[in-house]
Chains A and B, each alone.
Chain A
């Protein structure tokens, strides 16, 4: 059983020595961007992110183009990117059909998602949390047989646009289910960015009772500017995997004008300052961010990029 750590003044300065950054810009970032990005641009973005040293780059989502037009070119993107040795390129597979298409396109790692909110699950995919997890049984069995690792996402871990507050116990329950079903890592997402460090702390305390901290990741949205502070709290609790998005790509479908994911550049800046190893070349990362923002015709949401922009 995982140990629960309370954050105290004495541990305020304790951080993991290495943090694995999972770059979700090409998927979670882009899928929330209005402007459709050409396939060649997506491929170039992912290649630039690989060259920046990110160990994991979530490439695309094998979801129906009816739901997410931005991801319609999933197979072409996965086939077109350069697969650097030592870098993982997971793809989202919302159902078995998507999983099969992903494997056919060369996927070596997939991701599935659940939510810590019944209402969110109902509104989003028209079933209960339990039913949604059952749907993934098929994927997990097939993935296990094919030795394909599966990552599990839990959304709405710090708040839900429909239910409001979410109990840490519920998050722990869903995380535990995904972990016991065979997901090697559980990414806990503050989908609408309403969380603050105290809530993050309480949620992680509950989840760490059920899932070892080494198997946990946090995925913070910056809708209310709390993402980096929330991530810092998670690091202090022992989490060493953080999802972020180059240039802070993505918006929030629930809040027009709101910012998106935690910007990878800002995260790398903080971790570098803390002496935590990430393997990421910030300069190359900034170049990737500049590239995609130009393609999207939007300004970066990364403060580091804004501060270092010479325009």
Chain B
């Protein structure tokens, strides 16, 4: 607003502004000042865990194939930011997702820091066994709340996919490997259009019932808005405890951060809500909100997030 010609060079550097606003370089405990404790009264969770999905969900949608050593370096750098969960790769056939062809090398090549979890996607039993052989200690399975999407994406009905996942999750549980469940198209489907909260709840309940410890609700095509997010969560929370829920919002229509804010407000107190993000501005165009943007939102809301940003 207004023109500021030569005065610009005299302003605070953005680095300084960020330090003041985003506590970059300070500890989390020191950054939360008493005035912001009032945010606890605003019905927001006290704690939010960020699940970094850049190396998997982010990269698999990138056209340029990233060399294995770069993927490993990327994940190692992410491990040093304080993130506690980083989704590493997907044990899917390279025929479907060429970007993930080096899943085994990546899994074996990354530095696994103590206290950080490195889940991998395992669409079927074969993928699961490969993942375990490569050293995976947490896995994810990927369902959809839309029949058409399920058929187009993984060539089977929702029911058939659930049967497949039951095998995987059962094997995982048998080996004490935690399994996470994704539900895609939670707020809309590219094939079917609108998706009912009831359908999402049904699929979520099925995944939770088979043993997934956490269910990530994905607005796969980013069509959701705060109203539909709220309705969805209110429906799903009737069947699944909030502490077992995560949201995964795509920013296709610029709604991701607003939807996440709504999710934070809707999920009732004391439940850590998991929010999935993708690091790196190069992902901003069509995927989840960059972690840096989410961090600033969370901090100033008064949330503690288990991150020490560099």
Contacts and interface: CB of A to CB of B under 8 A. Distances in A.
A226 B266 CA distance: 19
Given A13-B230, A191-B1, A307-B252, A159 B258 contact: no
B157 interface: no
Nearest to B43: A9
A224 to B, nearest CB: 6
B11 interface: yes
B226 A274 contact: yes
B17 interface: yes
Contact of A124 (B4, B43, B228, B302): B4
Given A123-B4, A123-B10, A255-B14, A199 B300 contact: yes
Contact of B265 (A12, A31, A275, A304): A12
Nearest to A236: B265
A281 interface: no
A6 B17 CA distance: 27
Contacts of B218: none
A275 B3 contact: no
Interface in B14-45: 14, 16-17, 20-21, 35-36, 38-39, 41-43
Contact of B2 (A9, A155, A195, A274): A155
Contact of B297 (A162, A192, A196, A266): A196
Contacts of A302: 254
A270 B10 contact: no
Interface residues of A, number: 61
A269 interface: yes
B310 to A, nearest CB: 17
A194 B252 contact: no
A85 interface: no
A232 B262 contact: yes
B265 A7 contact: yes
Contact of A155 (B1, B10, B41, B251): B1
A228 B254 contact: yes
With a 10 A CB-CB cut-off, give which of B21, B228, B254, B284 has the most chain A CB atoms: B254
B227 A153 contact: no
B266 to A, nearest CB: 6
B272 interface: no
A303 B252 contact: yes
25 contacts: A9-B43, A9-B266, A12-B230, A13-B226, A63-B3, A67-B5, A124-B2, A124-B4, A163-B12, A164-B16, A196-B299, A198-B301, A201-B42, A225-B293, A228-B257, A229-B258, A233-B261, A253-B3, A254-B11, A263-B254, A266-B255, A273-B225, A273-B226, A274-B227, A304-B254
Given A8-B42, A225-B289, A274-B226, 6 more contacts: A7-B42, A9-B266, A161-B8, A228-B257, A229-B258, A269-B225
Interface of B: 1-5, 7-8, 10-12, 14, 16-17, 20-21, 35-36, 38-39, 41-43, 222, 224-228, 230, 251-255, 257-258, 260-262, 265-266, 268-269, 284-286, 289-290, 293, 296-297, 299-302
Which are the 10 A-B pairs with shortest beta-carbon distances? A273-B225, A303-B254, A9-B43, A196-B300, A12-B265, A266-B254, A161-B11, A123-B7, A225-B293, A198-B300
